[in-house]
Structure 1
Amino acid sequence: MILAGDASAMDELDTPVLDNHLHLDPERGRGMDAVRDFVRLGGTHLLVVNKPSWHLGVEPDEPEEFRQVFETTIEVVDEASSLLPGRAWPVLGVHPTLIGRLVDDRGFTPEAAAELMAGGLEVAAEFVAEGQALALKSGRPHYDAEPAIMDASNEVMKRAFELAVDLDCAVQLHTEGAEDLTEIAEWAEARGLDRTRVVKHYARGRLAGPVPSVMSEKDRLQVAADSDEPFLMETDFVDDPDRPGAVLGPKTVPRRVRWLLEEGHEEAVRRAHVETPALAYDIDTEATLGE
């Protein structure tokens, strides 16, 4: 259903509109209805991140068990692409908070958990190497964790950077909220991955180090738009019927693009939806319109 306030949004936006990070669950969530809402408001492109493995009923003991999670995401992305004016790409990896489940609930040592998670990333890397996925996802817990957990998580993240160098792809990161993650960018560069290929999901409007994927709230976007720095826009839509109001809905990015244009931020919109996607992921959101 389109609300009265959305009527003007039916006018086509003269720009690609990319949501850089959201999840889709066609079995339990809104799935393609969420994609249709995104398109109806002017959205054109999506980066769809696999849901945490346990949300799909996978509690892995071996790296190969992550494969089901990744294959499910690729199927969802193929279906979403058929509805978009542009296309969708999968971003595959292991959610960093899995380490807490493995250690606290299942008796893994931090080192054994890190080994399993790094193995899962290596399975995800196979899909990137075959051209079935665009980028990897990794990171570390966003909450306070004991040093052994954080050290193990940092090692998993560094492994993601190593894999990304071999694949020539980007890494999306789930980390704590911060405005300075220069150290992480330096870890990536020490392994040969340019910091422009490191994207911080759920970012504020300003970030030192990785490229920020800014949560599409007006105050954060205003800060990003006023800068001259690369940035992306996202919702982190979780598509979970048990959390209907969690994070932001699929209409948000196109609505915020319209707001930015109304505020005179045409250059920032191009930076977020054309220039930065090309910089971070080597994708062309203009050329892929109408594919």
Structure 2
Amino acid sequence: MIDDGTPVLDNHLHLDPDNNRGIDAVRDFARVGGTHLLVVNKPSWHLGVEADAGEDFRPVFDRTVEIVDAASAELEGRAWPVLGVHPGLISRLVDERGYSPERAREIMRGGIDVAAEYVADGRALALKSGRPHYEVDDAVREASNDVMRRAFERAADLECAVQLHAESSEEMSDVTEWAEAVGLAAHRVVKHYAGGRLEGPIPSVISRKDELEVAAERGEPFLMETDYIDDPDRPGAVLGPKTVPRRVAWLLENGYDDAVRNAHVETPARVYGIDTEATLEASRTG
């Protein structure tokens, strides 16, 4: 069982504000002990936005902020938005809409700049960027890396974190070196959908028992996530919203108390500057 004083954070999931479970998924999470969420905006085209410029992403970010506010009202802790541009957009722009990789890069970097405005004024906690996790040609890959570097530059200015969507790997130290080169500390770079062992970025571990055991035994900073996508055509994908609280209970039952504190208190504080214990206590005493 989860102790009443234990914060439980899902570091990366999506909520559809219009077309699927939305707040019902948040209620499922809370019902089994979940207290905090980092909600990442869905890919822009999933919300009906075909971007031609950075400003076109603003409705996506606004709708995400709105549903995060609604999610916070359902939680004992709270939710925060993570805003940015899904790296898969570059393939949509180049392969489906006929843009050059260079023009696609500028559109996506413009979206990162707009997302940074939301972090700057306190409406969002962190940025999202990355590069395709599938094979692309050299021009598209380099353009994607340039978008990611822009996210690092903006995050360095804002002193915020960047969540990365990227290829599966256990070694991404080159990416954190790019971040550090522009003034962003390596611990502010988070690899979403990570395994339990990763060099470079902080791993946001997909909450499967085998990967969580690796992360727990390793003893390095890590986070936990479901990557729940709230897609009506793929119910439950990737993992359902109840998964993180259930995995926390499993970790506690198996003696991994230190790992739970690592993933849900210490690492969120280090990466994002958030205090999950204080926000939980404020909710319970307020």
Corresponding position of 1:84? 75
User: Does the residue aligned with 2:269 lie in a helix, a strand or coil?
Assistant: helix
* Residues 104-123 of structure 1 mapped to structure 2, 5 A cutoff: 104-123=95-114
Asked if the contact 2:228–2:236 (Cα under 8 Å) also holds between the matched residues in 1, the reply is: no
1:144 aligned partner, one-letter code = E
Deviations 1:150-207 (A, max 9, x none): 0000000000000001111000000000000000010000111001000000000000
User: Does the residue aligned with 2:175 lie in a helix, a strand or coil?
Assistant: helix
Distance in 1, Cα, partners of 2:143 & 2:199: 23
Distance in 2, Cα, partners of 1:67 & 1:98: 16
Deviations 1:223-281 (A, max 9, x none): 00001200000000000111113210000000000000011000000000000000100
Distance in 2, Cα, partners of 1:48 & 1:82: 14
1:273 to 264, 272, 275: 264
2:275 aligned partner, one-letter code = D
1:140 aligned partner, one-letter code = R
Distance in 1, Cα, partners of 2:53 & 2:258: 46
* Residues 73-152 of structure 1 mapped to structure 2, 5 A cutoff: 73-152=64-143
User: Does the residue aligned with 2:276 lie in a helix, a strand or coil?
Assistant: coil
Corresponding position of 2:60? 69
Residues 1:41 and 2:48 are matched in the alignment? no
Structure 1 residue ranges without an equivalent (≥5) = 1-8
With normalisation by structure 2, the TM-score equals 0.97
Residues 1:219 and 2:223 are matched in the alignment? no
1:208 to 199, 208, 213: 199
User: Does the residue aligned with 1:42 lie in a helix, a strand or coil?
Assistant: coil
TM-fit CA distance, 1:12: 5.0
1:248 aligned partner, one-letter code = L
TM-fit CA distance, 1:14: 3.2
Q: Percent identity?
A: 70
RMSD, matched Cα:
0.9
1:109 aligned partner, one-letter code = S
User: Does the residue aligned with 2:92 lie in a helix, a strand or coil?
Assistant: helix
* Runs of 4+ more than 3 Å apart: 11-14
Distance in 2, Cα, partners of 1:26 & 1:144: 31
User: Does the residue aligned with 2:33 lie in a helix, a strand or coil?
Assistant: coil
Distance in 1, Cα, partners of 2:153 & 2:3: 41
TM-fit CA distance, 1:29: 1.1
Distance in 2, Cα, partners of 1:70 & 1:97: 17
Distance in 2, Cα, partners of 1:217 & 1:20: 14
TM-fit CA distance, 1:13: 4.0
Corresponding position of 1:5? none
TM-fit CA distance, 1:25: 1.0
Distance in 1, Cα, partners of 2:32 & 2:5: 12
Deviations 1:55-91 (A, max 9, x none): 0000011111100000000000000000100000000
Residues 1:180 and 2:164 are matched in the alignment? no
Distance in 2, Cα, partners of 1:59 & 1:238: 19
Structure 2 residue ranges without an equivalent (≥5) = none
